[in-house]
Each structure stands twice: as structure tokens, then as C-alpha cells.
Chain A
């Protein structure tokens, strides 16, 4: 398909383990965003990549969270030493560029459950 894809769709892990979440943006989209959606809440911004510029990490909640992006393609979000409060749906979005009217296309999300 031509949309944003994410894997896995569901991840259950034990407290203290590390997890990696993957996002494949729409081909040709230079901007990529990660958001977190806790149960019953709106989306919280985590990190933003635009081309080869340094990422905007201002939304990362702690140093246990990190993300990488290879060029203008796949991105991985890594959460180290997971805690129960990390349980949420992690959504990835991409847009054509990072201009102010940035129509963002969202993936289906990864539901993370930390036991």
C-alpha cells in the first residue's frame, strides 16, 4: 500500500525490557513524526525528523526514549528499560515536507503494553 505502515501492531513486554517500534513513511515524504497516545487522551508529540536536519527531540519524555531515521525512509523508536507508564499507542506520521501546512498522514499505530 501507499500509506504509512508501522510494526509491530501490538507489543507486550515486561517492565525493564527494551522495545523497538518501526515506522515506514510514505515514499517521498521528507518529514516524519512520532506521537504517543495514552488511553483516552490526545496525541503527545515525541520527535520530528526533517530531511537531513537534526531532529527535534523536544517531546521525548525521558532519556529512555530515542529515535533514529535512515535518510528519508524508515524510522525506529526505541524505549529502554520500559515502565508501565510507557503503555500507550505509538503513532507515526509523515508529510511531504515540514512546511507550515503539513498535512500529516498517520500510520495505524503500535499498541505497547508494559506488564
Chain B
């Protein structure tokens, strides 16, 4: 079946860049998403990329997609303490619902 994997934890210093990685298995993935979840809150869509693109930039966020290796990354420039949260990678492929990774807990240290 479809599978999405992420590393569980990442710590960075304030002002540094964060890079969160994700791998997926569904070769029919059409869109890939990054969601942010803050404590006690629902998921907030940060950005998405269509599968025929290899990069998308949106202010401090850069998404890179390597479709051959089925690898997706999210880079956050100038990471701030407000960026501390859980980041989920998700893909939509042949099914309507999204398939999510387990999430990466990003901790930003002062």
C-alpha cells in the first residue's frame, strides 16, 4: 500500500535553516503537501507541490521534489521559535484521501 515516511525529530537554532525530509512510495502521487500542526490545534496547510514540478518557493519555505527517488523536502529559512511544531508530509494519489507521514517534531532552540 501507500506509505509516507519522515524522521521523527529535528532541532535547530533560531535563525538557522531547517530541512525536513519525507519519502513516499506511491508513484501515482499527483500532489504532495506540507502541513503544520501546533499543540492543540488542527492541521494548517503550509504549501503543496504538483508532481511535475521539482521546486516551489513561498517566502521562507522552499519545497524540493525528487520524483525519481520519491523524496520531498521542506526547507524553512531563518527558522523562528514560532516555527516549532509538528510538520506532516502528505500525498494524494489514486485515492481522494491524503496519506500522511508520522510527522516531524521541529524544535527551535534560542
Interface residue ranges, A against B (CB under 8 Å): 4, 31, 33, 35, 40-45, 48, 50, 56, 59, 91, 93, 98, 100-109
Is A100 a contact of B97 with CB atoms below 8 Å?
Answer: no
Chain B residues in 8 Å Cβ range of A35:
97, 100
Chain B residues in 8 Å Cβ range of A93:
43
Chain B residues in 8 Å Cβ range of A45:
95, 97-99
Chain A residues in 8 Å Cβ range of B96:
31, 48, 50, 56, 98, 100, 102
Main secondary structure of the interface of B (DSSP, over half): strand
Known: A101-B30, A101-B92. A106 touches B98 (CB 8 A): no
The distance from the CB of B38 to the nearest CB of chain A, in whole angstroms, is 11
Chain B residues in 8 Å Cβ range of A105:
45
- A114 to B25: give the CA distance in the assembly, Å: 34
Chain A residues in 8 Å Cβ range of B103:
41-42
Chain B count of residues within 8 A CB distance of the other chain: 24
Chain A residues in 8 Å Cβ range of B48:
101, 103
The distance from the CB of A33 to the nearest CB of chain B, in whole angstroms, is 6
Most interface-central of A33, A43, A108 (chain B CB within 10 A): A43
Show 12 A/B contacts (Cβ-Cβ < 8 Å), sorted by A: A33-B98, A41-B102, A41-B103, A42-B88, A43-B88, A45-B98, A50-B96, A100-B31, A101-B30, A104-B45, A105-B45, A106-B44
Is A104 a contact of B98 with CB atoms below 8 Å?
Answer: yes
- A41 to B30: give the CA distance in the assembly, Å: 23
Is B43 a contact of A106 with CB atoms below 8 Å?
Answer: yes
Chain B residues in 8 Å Cβ range of A40:
102
